[in-house]
Chains A and B, each alone.
Chain A
Amino acid sequence: MGRAPAYRSKRGRLHKLIEIVPHLVIALLLLFLVPLQPTYIQSLATKILIFAIFAMSLDLLIGYAGIMSLGHAAFFGTAGYAAGILVVRYGVDNVWLGLGFGILLATLVAAVFGIIALQARGIYSILITFALGQLLYSFATKWRSVTNGDYGLWGIPIPALGLSSFEWNGTCYYYFVFLTFLVCYFCLYRLVKSPFGKSLQGIREGESRMRALGYNIWLFKYVAFIIAGMFAGAAGVLYAYHSGIMTPGDLAVANSGFVMLMAIAGGVGTIYGPVIGAALIITIQYYASILTPNRWPLILGGVFVLTIMYARAGVGVYFFKLWKRVLGGWKF
């Protein structure tokens, strides 16, 4: 292969720089600054990273495959419950087993739900995701002997890494979540840049055209649904260990809407957007619940409405464009 023309490589370098610098800055901040902060900030950052994984997985559905889902919390909650039940009922506190079992179960649930939800089209498919999420919710409230019903499955400890002489604390768990986040981010980033991701976007933009080109639309959507469920499952397991309790509400539509807000507020159709969205919403949630614990849902609803009305493109996307303009102003 010959060398690319000079102008292209220069623009390419600028392009790379535009992408890499914010990633690097945020990663370094997360790596070095957060662990020096007080415990509650660390805990907040852990929660943000967990929900960032969750929101990214939803973005794969909304932003890339063009599937609206109001039941995405089903996979998150299933995996969280799976890991929690493993610890609380069977005493298995190994994080790898928890992650593996949780993700496996979430993937299975996604595989079943995907068949049902993608059976219908458009608006019906949204209704079905909603209904299936609520099905698991009522299941979790009814199966009291295992899930503790409405009280929630409490007493989930921070897990063990499998090294016997290694004692975990909050900071270690933060690093573990951070690493998992990096892996998920990288995987999803590669996935949407891959031919598979491009095909998904093609289906989103023009389904009939892609069908005419010979693509198996259903299969692409189905695989995207399962992958999204898998990553949501990873987030769910991390969340169970982090919060120490799983409640039926974690499976329900309110949680699905919560993560949907993060994805949209940050900007769907980009993998970094939902991360920014998660940071934004979780931070607002944290301070709003301190300020007015009873009025937090009201504020959440307000943010929801304002986001849909005025910031549909996403705040993360807006920041990125701003940054691009700043950097684009420099001469290279």
Chain B
Amino acid sequence: MPVGKLHLNRHTKSDLFAGVEPLVNIFLLNLLNAISYGAILFLLASGFSLIFGVMGVLNLSHGALYMVGAYVGWTIAVANGISFWLGALAGGLVAGLISLVMEAGFFRRLYKQLNEQMLLTFGFVYIIDNLARWIWGPSYRPPFTSPALSGSFDILGSKYPTVRIAIIFIGMVIALGLWWLQDKTRAGAMIRAGMDDKETAMALGINLPLVSTVAFFVGSFIAGFAGVIGAQVMGVYPEMSMTVMLLVLAVIIIGGVGSVQGTLVGAGILGAIDAFGKALFPDYAMFTVYLAMIIVLIIKPSGILGRQI
């Protein structure tokens, strides 16, 4: 499946270049595209970053959980026509439950063996991908959304899809929520303590295994939820888990892992690169992402706002 399936500009491109429009307008629309894509990327990567921060596990099945979430959302919202928002919640829940099985059944037995845990998640990608293909078949599911969001509205005389604005809103709400959780709550303090020094945190009476399980569930829930939210513009297809995983890694490499702020910065930059890159050099958009990654790596290998690992 071509990577180009992830083009977010598909819907607006025709509007963009249909007539002779002022440059400001084109810039504004691309900026909105950048922010909405950035919001999806943030949702995607924040769960991964949370899991990595707390457990130290490089969860390569994160993209697969995203895909499963999107498929579950599709089943509920489109195939059964129940409700988009219920689909989003169910997508998150199913992804979270899968992660609990992975954690309780496998990760616990590989305590502190980070490389083995990473390889395990890689094995799960094959399994989840194939099961998803078994259940939902190989065909591409086009974007779907709630009827309330399916319209578009005018911005400075151009039409802009409502979904994107909703995505930006959802991304912002979750970002603020996670930020608050990280910096202002006791749970966040426990998580940060666990990231910095596991032994001392445990000696102080923090139940780190429980914190890990909760973080893994929450991170995976966000992945599944992000799958449904992202499906509003990207749709779902069986091979998407590795493509999505690559985007997560790009966000993490650029922004740095282990903090909400880092993920936000990475997602914002990547969203901007993608939207403006596609508008300016449509054929090379994928490579501009790599270029950004390499530049960040050379200047600051741990990411722009990365914690030292």
Query: What residues make up the interface of A, taking CB atoms closer than 8 Å to B?
Result: 68, 70, 116, 119-124, 126-128, 130-131, 134-135, 138-139, 141-142, 150, 252-254, 257, 260-261, 264, 294-295, 297-298, 300-305, 307-309, 312
Asked whether, in the complex, the Cβ of B130 is within 8 Å of the Cβ of A295, the reply is yes
- Is B264 in contact with chain A by the CB < 8 A criterion? no
| Interface residues of B, count at CB 8 A | 44
- Give every chain A residue within 8 A of B110 (Cβ-Cβ): 308-309
Which of A119, A139, A142 has the largest number of chain B CB atoms within 10 A? A142
Alpha-carbon distance between A264 and B123 when the two chains are bound, in angstroms: 12
Asked whether, in the complex, the Cβ of B119 is within 8 Å of the Cβ of A131, the reply is no
Closest B residue to A303 using CB positions? B123
Task: Tell me how far the C-beta of A308 lies from the nearest C-beta in chain B, rounded to whole angstroms.
Answer: 5
Asked whether, in the complex, the Cβ of A150 is within 8 Å of the Cβ of B126, the reply is no
Asked whether, in the complex, the Cβ of A304 is within 8 Å of the Cβ of B122, the reply is yes
- Give every chain A residue within 8 A of B118 (Cβ-Cβ): 68, 126
Alpha-carbon distance between A264 and B309 when the two chains are bound, in angstroms: 26
Interface of A is mostly: helix
Other-chain residue from A127, A300, A305 in contact with B106 (beta carbon distance below 8 A): A305
Other than the given A138-B287, A141-B3, A253-B242, 9 more pairs (CB < 8 A) read A123-B114, A123-B309, A130-B246, A254-B242, A260-B119, A298-B126, A298-B134, A301-B130, A308-B120
Encode B108-136 as 1/0 by CB contact (under 8 A) with A.
01100011101110111111111101100
- Is B293 in contact with chain A by the CB < 8 A criterion? yes
Other-chain residue from A121, A131, A294, A305 in contact with B253 (beta carbon distance below 8 A): A131
- Is B252 in contact with chain A by the CB < 8 A criterion? yes
- Give every chain B residue within 8 A of A150 (Cβ-Cβ): 2
Task: Tell me how far the C-beta of B95 lies from the nearest C-beta in chain A, rounded to whole angstroms.
Answer: 17
Which of A142, A253, A264, A301 has the largest number of chain B CB atoms within 10 A? A301
Asked whether, in the complex, the Cβ of A116 is within 8 Å of the Cβ of B309, the reply is no
Task: Tell me how far the C-beta of A103 lies from the nearest C-beta in chain B, rounded to whole angstroms.
Answer: 25
Task: Tell me how far the C-beta of B251 lies from the nearest C-beta in chain A, rounded to whole angstroms.
Answer: 11
Task: Tell me how far the C-beta of A140 lies from the nearest C-beta in chain B, rounded to whole angstroms.
Answer: 11
Asked whether, in the complex, the Cβ of A301 is within 8 Å of the Cβ of B126, the reply is yes
Encode B1-33 as 1/0 by CB contact (under 8 A) with A.
011000000000000000000000000000000
Pick the 4 closest A-B CB pairs, nearest first. Answer: A304-B123, A301-B126, A301-B127, A298-B130
Alpha-carbon distance between A304 and B124 when the two chains are bound, in angstroms: 8
Alpha-carbon distance between A304 and B128 when the two chains are bound, in angstroms: 13
- Give every chain A residue within 8 A of B294 (Cβ-Cβ): 116
Task: Tell me how far the C-beta of A116 lies from the nearest C-beta in chain B, rounded to whole angstroms.
Answer: 6
Q: List 30 A-B contacts (CB under 8 A).
A: A68-B115, A119-B297, A119-B298, A120-B301, A121-B301, A121-B309, A124-B301, A124-B302, A124-B309, A126-B58, A126-B118, A127-B252, A131-B253, A138-B286, A257-B125, A294-B134, A295-B134, A297-B126, A298-B127, A298-B130, A298-B134, A300-B126, A301-B125, A301-B126, A304-B120, A305-B123, A308-B110, A308-B116, A309-B110, A309-B120
Alpha-carbon distance between A131 and B286 when the two chains are bound, in angstroms: 12
Closest A residue to B57 using CB positions? A123
- Is B304 in contact with chain A by the CB < 8 A criterion? no
- Is B208 in contact with chain A by the CB < 8 A criterion? no
Alpha-carbon distance between A309 and B301 when the two chains are bound, in angstroms: 32
Assuming the A-B contacts A131-B246, A254-B242, are A305 and B124 also in contact, with contact meaning beta carbons closer than 8 angstroms in the complex?
Answer: yes
- Is B290 in contact with chain A by the CB < 8 A criterion? yes
Task: Tell me how far the C-beta of B294 lies from the nearest C-beta in chain A, rounded to whole angstroms.
Answer: 6
Task: Tell me how far the C-beta of A172 lies from the nearest C-beta in chain B, rounded to whole angstroms.
Answer: 35
Task: Tell me how far the C-beta of A66 lies from the nearest C-beta in chain B, rounded to whole angstroms.
Answer: 10
Encode B234-260 as 1/0 by CB contact (under 8 A) with A.
000000001000100110110001000
- Give every chain B residue within 8 A of A126 (Cβ-Cβ): 58, 118
Task: Tell me how far the C-beta of B284 lies from the nearest C-beta in chain A, rounded to whole angstroms.
Answer: 9
